[in-house]
Structures are given as C-alpha cells and as structure tokens.
Amino acid sequence: MDSLTQIVLGAAVAEAVLGKKVGHKAALWGAVAGTIPDLDVLAKQVVDVVTATAWHRGFSHSVLFSVIMAPILGILVWRLYSKKEATWRQWSWLFFWGLFTHPLLDAFTTWGTQLFWPMDLRLAFQSIFVIDPLYTLPFLFCLIAALRLERNHPKRSTYIYWGLSCSTAYLLLSLVLKGISYHRFEEALKSQGIAYRAMDNRPAPLNTILWMANVETETQFLLGEYSFFDNKPIGFKSISKDHHLLGALAQEEKVKKLVEITEGWYAITKGNGRLYFNDLRFGLLSLAEEEKQFAFSYELIDGPQGLRVKEVPKSRTDAKKLLGALWDRIWGN
C-alpha cells in the first residue's frame, strides 16, 4: 500500500498495543515501523532494475524480518528513553505489529508480498489497489480523533478499534467484491464462447467498484473491465503475446527473472527498433481503446556488454488522464 496508509496502519496498531502506557510515542514509533519494510526500494540505487524489482516486497516484507527486527528496534527505543514507561519486551511487541501488519496489508494488493520468505511464495489476493481512499481516510480520521484525546481517555481506544474494525471489514468486503466480479467475467467469457487457459482480476486504481481482468488464451491475452454500475455486456480487448519476439533473449537470466516476477502475464512489443517487456498485471496506462502503453514496461537493450533492462518512465500527465477516465468509467459503461 502507499506510504500514508502504512503510516496510519502502523500508528493505529502501535496505539492499540502501547498507547495507554506511553501516549503519543506509541503512534510515532508505530508510524516509523510501518514505513521500514518499504526501505527495500532503495535497492534501485545499488542494483539493476530487475534485481530491485525481484527484491521488492521480499525479505523486508516477511514474518522472519518482523521477528528479527522487532526486538532490535524495541531495545533501541527502550534505551532511548530515561523514563521507562514500558519494558523492552513491550516496545518489541509494538514494533512486531507495526512491521508485520505492513506486509499483511500488502498481501491484498496486486504486487503481493513474500510473507513466508525464504519460501518462494508470493501472496497476492489482488483485492485492493495500493491507494484506496475508502480504506485510508476513515482509518485516518479515527486515528486523528484518538490522538487528540488524553492517553487515558476511554474514547481513545474506542476510536482506534473503530478504525481497525472498519479497515478490516473493508478488506474482507474487497474479497467478496473480487469474487462477484470474477463470476461476472466468467459469465461474459462463456456467453461469448471464449476458451481460455487462465484468468485473474483486480480492482482498478483508487476503488473497488471497477474491476479489471486479464484472460490468457492460446495465442493472446484479453483485457476486460467491469463496474458494478454497468448495464452493458463486458467487452474484451486483445493483446498479442508475441513472446517469439524475444528470440535468443528468452534465455537471458534477466528476462527469465522478469517472466518469473510477472508469473507469465507478459507481452512483448516492438516499436521504433526497440523491444519492450510489458507486465500485464497492472494493466494499461489509460482506458482508451487505442491505448498501447502498459503501466509497467521495460525496454530490453541488447548491447556489447550484455543485456540491459530499463524501466519505461511514467509521467504526471498519464496519471491525470487515467484518473479522469476512471471516474467516468466507474459509474457504468
């Protein structure tokens, strides 16, 4: 999830664990704990983009990382304060929940997380987008309301539990909505006589009303979208796999790693003499019928010093166009 959501979650969980004993310091250190797992993004500064992408939401998002780091951070913070309002074990418990709830929430997103690292298993329920105001804002309001009160005020805990309860209920609701939309896509494929190998679905950015689907057939992928306000049949846009365009590059370790990361949901495109590896899991940059640019795309540059992989940058203009189109599309086709 986005940084604000993880900060709010970490602060709220820490407040629930230790707020009565240490006051606002609990929320402060919980917010810090909620951001620590995402420090793995700094790997981009020292390794290539493929390795950094493979590492993202790996070890730092695991139960093992939470178990190792919690007592280390707990002892450091305990030693920081001369007034021992809580034991080092209590601080460690705070950090464990601040660290652990981060990857637990990330497991509901499209990217998922290696919660059980070093096992090669990435949990990705794909039921909530990385930024979802309906999850974050009620939670944030409850946290602010709680922190405005004295540490022993009875309503302080009540507000925190309201926030945690609402956010958890929304996550569970997102799984129900995912199941319903999946069934709608299945019905559409059946009614159109489309035979397929696999399908997955995920929410569109910022909401759980509009859902997107990736469908794999023998020679191509189909991209579909469904809003709970739709009154017309679901249509599908075809994307050629064109995996053959990789040629000998298919045997390169970096390409194999990208295939592994995308779990096979990728298409190869060629334009202006350049070769691109496109990650289908996050869809296209816009909802326009003529759109061909994917949200995550990597240019494969084969040179004398070997294969180089470069992520195609996205612009603010792309985001603004997508947001406007999403708002219109959410309300039905």
Q: What is the pLDDT of residues 209-260, one digit of tens each?
A: 999 999 999 989 999 999 999 999 999 999 999 999 999 999 999 999 999 9
Q: What is the pLDDT of residue 299?
A: 95
Distance between CA atoms of residues 80 and 25, nearest Å: 12
Q: What is the pLDDT of residue 286?
A: 78
What is the pLDDT of the chain when averaged over all its residues?
A: 93
Q: What would the pLDDT profile of 103-151 be if each residue is shown by its tens digit?
A: 999 999 999 999 999 998 899 999 999 999 999 999 999 999 999 999 9
- For residue 76, pLDDT over 90 is answered with yes
pTM to 2 decimals? 0.92
Q: What is the pLDDT of residue 58?
A: 93
Among candidate residues 32, 100, 94, 97, the one with its CA nearest the CA of residue 63? 100
Among candidate residues 278, 215, 207, the one with its CA nearest the CA of residue 242? 278
* Dihedral angle, C-alpha 42, 43, 45, 50, nearest 10 °: -130
Q: What is the pLDDT of residue 35?
A: 96
Which residues, including other chains, have CB under 8 Å from residue 328's CB and lie 6 or more apart? Answer: none
E-strand stretches of 123-209: 198-203
Q: What would the pLDDT profile of 8-58 be if each residue is shown by its tens digit?
A: 999 999 999 999 999 999 999 999 999 999 999 988 888 899 999 989 999
Handedness of CA 25, 97, 153, 8 (dihedral sign): positive
Q: N- to C-terminal Cα distance for the chain?
A: 28
E-strand stretches of the chain: 198-203, 210-216, 220-227, 236-240, 266-271, 274-284, 294-303, 306-311
Kindly tell me the burial class for residue 251, based on how many C-beta atoms sit within 10 Å of its own C-beta (0-12, 13-18, 19 or more).
exposed
**How large is the average pLDDT for residues 164-177?**
97
Query: How many CA atoms, within 13 angstroms, populate the side-chain half-sphere of residue 4?
Result: 12
Q: What is the pLDDT of residue 318?
A: 67
Distance between CA atoms of residues 235 and 213, nearest Å: 11
Report the run of H or E that residue 137 belongs to, with start and end: helix 133-147
Two tokens at 41? 């993004």
Question: What secondary structure letter does DSSP report for 57?
Answer: T
Position 188 confidence tier, pLDDT thresholds 50, 70, 90: very high
Q: What is the pLDDT of residue 140?
A: 96
Distance between CA atoms of residues 46 and 38, nearest Å: 16
Domain borders along the chain are 3-124, 180-237, 241-330
Question: What secondary structure letter does DSSP report for 312?
Answer: P
Which residues, including other chains, have CB under 8 Å from residue 258's CB and lie 6 or more apart? Answer: 50, 53, 266, 277, 279, 298, 309
Report the run of H or E that residue 76 belongs to, with start and end: helix 63-80
**How large is the average pLDDT for residues 156-169?**
96
Residue type at position 75: I
Distance between CA atoms of residues 79 and 75, nearest Å: 6
